Amino acid sequence: GFNHVTSSSKFKCTVVGPRCLLACLANNTPVPELPYPMYTAAMKGMIVTISGLEKAEKEKFKQLVEKMAGIYSNAFHDGVTHLVAATARSQKYEVAVGKEIPCMLPRWVEEVWKVSNTEMVTAVDPRFSSHRCPALLGVTVSVSQLNRADKELLKKSVETHGGVYSGVLEMDKTTVLVCTSPAGDKYSHAKKWNIPCVTSQWVFDCIEKGYCLQTDSYRVDRGKANSSTPTKQDQTMAGLAEVSMCSTILNPDETVGTRLVEETMNCTNMGLEGGLVATIKGKTTADWLAELELGKVKKAGSFLDGCKVYLSGFSDPEQVQLTRVLK
């Protein structure tokens, strides 16, 4: 409707609405000289780019930005002040995070436009901070090798922060696979389809930081190719060799209810009759605790990482000592 006065070489007028003019007068700032009508000044001085929306949606938000005295840019350049994103998995998003540029949801633009029609506000008003992009916006997470409790925790965390939790791995839909080790059918297919395979820590670190992180440092197969360098797991296993253990392992189809584990350790078949068994016999709990040195435990490595250990029947000093060792 105003093209004949904003684009014409004869007129070249700046078209300003009452609210935009009042805001400029109140802040003692000049009216922006932009080639389109400005109805409010809520986005004055801002340069906004958009990622992840269809062409028609982009045009809609472009017009809203311009109506609020903002500038819309198709490209991401050094002058961009805000990114409006529909997903956290785009090149523009990654650049914005690297430059610490706010990433906002599309509804941010709509809400600012709505409020600015009745109030004198700016788009950076704290009331609009709830429209920042959730850390896992548009991210579809599949899982493997986790127990039910961990899956439920992960599902809740992902969905609370804008992501989608899926029980199946899909080539064109899954963004990342969360697993504990580089093994299994899901892992194999994820590798084949170039889907990043990460530990669950990636999810929780994304949430803590407030934005979607790169997956490289969280990959479960990171460093796998470099077999000449001892990994943390190798060092832990080497440390375990210094600790004498005798354990009972159940087959997958056996349960504690169908099999009794004898309290007496029978290590005869291991050829340790004269060694470990002789050492164990006659020793009390107090004797074992007296020989339990924190230095040796640390040297053995974090072989109980992820385990839940319950202490029962120990005195207070004994519980304190065992708690330190377990930590």
Q: Is the pTM of this model over 0.75?
A: no
Look at the chain and count its residues. Answer: 327
pLDDT tens across 271-286, in order? Answer: 334 444 444 455 677 7
**Taking 90 as the threshold, does the pLDDT of residue 70 lie above it?**
yes
- For the range 32-35, what are the long-range contacts, defined as Cβ-Cβ under 8 Å and sequence gap of 24 or more? 32/69, 34/66, 34/69, 34/71, 35/6, 35/7
* Residues 66 and 72 sit within 8 Å (Cβ to Cβ): yes
**Taking 70 as the threshold, does the pLDDT of residue 2 lie above it?**
no
Q: What is the pLDDT confidence band of residue 221, given thresholds at 50, 70 and 90?
A: confident
Least confident window among 39-48, 140-149, 224-233, 251-260: 251-260
Q: Read off the DSSP letter of residue 132.
A: B
What does the angle CA 300 – CA 301 – CA 304 come to, to the nearest 5 degrees?
105
Predicted local confidence at residue 236, as pLDDT: 37
User: Between 8 and 230, where is the model more confident?
Assistant: 8
Angle between helices 55-67 and 106-116 in degrees, nearest 10: 30
Please name the residues in contact with 183: beta carbons below 8 A apart, sequence gap of 6 or more.
Answer: 145
Q: Read off the DSSP letter of residue 183.
A: -
Rounded Cα distance, 244 and 246, in Å: 7
Predicted local confidence at residue 168, as pLDDT: 92
Predicted local confidence at residue 306, as pLDDT: 66
